[in-house]
A and B are shown apart, each in its own frame.
Chain A
């Protein structure tokens, strides 16, 4: 290496210093009009525990303030960016942000700090166009960061909800299905419930079997009232009675009609590129007389916007069973990883989360869609 560098070429070196992978991705978001934001690193731990459950606790770096409130280092950006947006004067209006920086998660084999970059779009009412833009920008930025093309998988929580609604599935089973599918369980596992027939009060149950639901519920509530019970451990006597009777009815009957189950089965097994999937979804809606109108129109419109934005539709894989176990994800969801390593961790993940703002204290839902790139999970192809 030549060590004699004159002032002129030195300044050239500085101005042409190669941008890091993260900066190249960020540049892409900035160019699209997503203003860079840097939310605080410290947040109340309770927010993340409430959103993601106690399981994330072992991944959080925890600390406390002088008053004893439990704080944590941000394990991701979406909630911090959303909190900053809600606290700003732009809350409720259109605002689009990008970010680049460290997130903190305790991991057994690696360090606790990872660099993430990403973007969040709030307040846009042209939801399908916003979905498509955020999805395409995420894929492009991953390429700009030096990774090769990623393999993308997409899903749509709104379609799933429309199917459940249209089939008139009861509220408890809707919840169980949503949750079971998000955890990758099949219908057999979801509908086979180990506690069936294991209830302890056979006498009460036998007496209830002939009664109608309203009468039976009143009886169980009365029994609990006689025992001096109104609300126990946060559950009302009515709630307990409802579930007791529902569980009792499972001893004899099927949890769901055979035809409805067949439709669910057919819906959940639909996968393929989004255009092909839309054809199959329409076919299913027709044959099963499902009202998927608005959800399916939105799905097709989004596919059109994505195609117009660049990504090849035939390279995207839609899966009806791809949903997330977070109730604030309300529509489009996606993730992408290195296609050369099918078991590689997700490098790009995102989706529509209209329900998050309200969970963070806003009076109403606010349209929101975002994506995050975990830089050390990108294919290193472009850097080689």
Chain B
């Protein structure tokens, strides 16, 4: 695949996305919504792809754990992964990665859960006390089954819980207390039904992380001019659809001139002119406004003398300022080439 880029051409920008399951579908849907159609290679077993209409981008379909590894090692520029995996697998996240944008899917909490029969344990402080009593009585430490070794260690240390041992669990963690492999668990949960089915309960203050799928940039990848161009393009489209989803366009005609009304609409409702600074001398206004403020703004325009106010949904809204890319460039530095 690499041979398609000639010897003199710049290395491609690599976007790593999940290779299977619901996460793959949700990620593809998210990008499609931003006008970025992921095109998988011809065979079903081809784990390379491209984005239709964006040059110099290679899409890599890999497992979630591998995505995190590739981002940390700088082998991929962008990737989609759960924040739980990122915080667990990458030491010193802030120095290596930039978490660009939460994607609104793949929600799950990493929680501390104990047997429901422990009616005397509701908080981490209770757990601390019970763990030290357990050790005093048995001379052994309470065992915590989890695949989140690092998250667990950090969270327990923050709460001063020291008398425990981690038992690494690579699957069916929630069954560990029942089968006698551990006394409690740290695991991911979405609805809590799996915990309940195993007679476990999360502690009141035992939420370690509220995680969701996140678009992540690698700070250690090689940021060539080509890679920057691709990143800027992708982020402009994502920002355009995110901004569009948040806003509505409102049109009306006021008794002329309209520039004072536009300023007032900004101050009162945070609305901005749909096409920038230019204001029509005949009183025509087109504004973009947050969804929640639309009805209020419409009422206000009618008060100001508009006869009719129309509201329309937006597909995409491109801005000269690319805030997502600017945030990234601040971390990777300006293009030296």
Contact = CB atoms under 8 A, between A and B. Distances in A.
Interaction A to B: yes
Interface of A: 49-50, 53-55, 57-58, 172, 175-176, 179, 183, 193-195, 198-201, 224, 227, 229, 232-235, 237, 239-240, 243-244, 247, 325, 327, 359
Chain B contact residues: helix, strand, loop or mixed: mixed
Chain A CB within 10 Å, residue with most, of B119, B129, B133, B199: B119
Given A195-B122, A195-B123, A232-B199, 15 more contacts: A49-B141, A50-B140, A53-B163, A55-B157, A57-B166, A58-B153, A172-B129, A176-B132, A198-B204, A224-B117, A234-B138, A239-B133, A240-B118, A243-B120, A247-B126
Chain A CB within 10 Å, residue with most, of B117, B126, B133, B182: B117
B160 interface: yes
Contacts of B117: 224, 227, 229, 232-233, 237, 240
A153 to B, nearest CB: 22
A327 B141 contact: no
B148 interface: no
Contact of B162 (A55, A58, A240, A359): A55
B118 A183 contact: no
Contact of A175 (B136, B143, B164, B204): B136
Contacts of A193: 125, 129
B241 interface: no
Contacts of B180: 234
Contact of B160 (A183, A233, A235, A244): A183
B156 to A, nearest CB: 7
Interface residues of B, number: 40
Contacts of A57: 153, 166
A325 B131 CA distance: 14
Interface of B: 114-115, 117-120, 122-123, 125-126, 129-130, 132-143, 153, 156-157, 160, 162-166, 177, 180, 182-184, 199, 204
A366 B142 CA distance: 26
B129 A54 contact: no
Contacts of A176: 129, 132
B255 to A, nearest CB: 63
Contacts of A55: 153, 157, 162
A54 to B, nearest CB: 5
B183 A234 contact: yes
Contacts of B204: 198
A223 to B, nearest CB: 9
Contacts of A172: 129, 133
A235 B165 CA distance: 16
Given A240-B118, A243-B133, A233 B126 contact: no
Contacts of B123: 194-195, 198
Contacts of B130: 235, 243
A237 B132 CA distance: 18
A179 B129 CA distance: 10
9 contacts: A54-B153, A54-B162, A179-B132, A232-B118, A233-B183, A234-B183, A244-B119, A244-B120, A327-B135
Shortest Cβ-Cβ A-B pairs, 7 listed: A244-B120, A233-B183, A233-B115, A232-B117, A232-B115, A243-B120, A234-B183
Chain B CB within 10 Å, residue with most, of A53, A201, A224: A53
Contacts of A327: 135-136
B73 to A, nearest CB: 20
B156 A199 contact: no
B283 to A, nearest CB: 62
B242 to A, nearest CB: 37
Contacts of A58: 153
Given A194-B123, A198-B123, A53 B141 contact: yes
Contacts of B126: 195, 247
Nearest to A196: B125
A54 B165 contact: yes
A187 to B, nearest CB: 16
Nearest to B142: A234
Contacts of A244: 119-120
Nearest to B127: A195
Contact of A50 (B120, B125, B165): B165
A198 B143 CA distance: 25
B166 A54 contact: yes
A335 to B, nearest CB: 20
B127 to A, nearest CB: 10
B164 A53 contact: yes
A179 B128 CA distance: 11
A55 B158 CA distance: 11
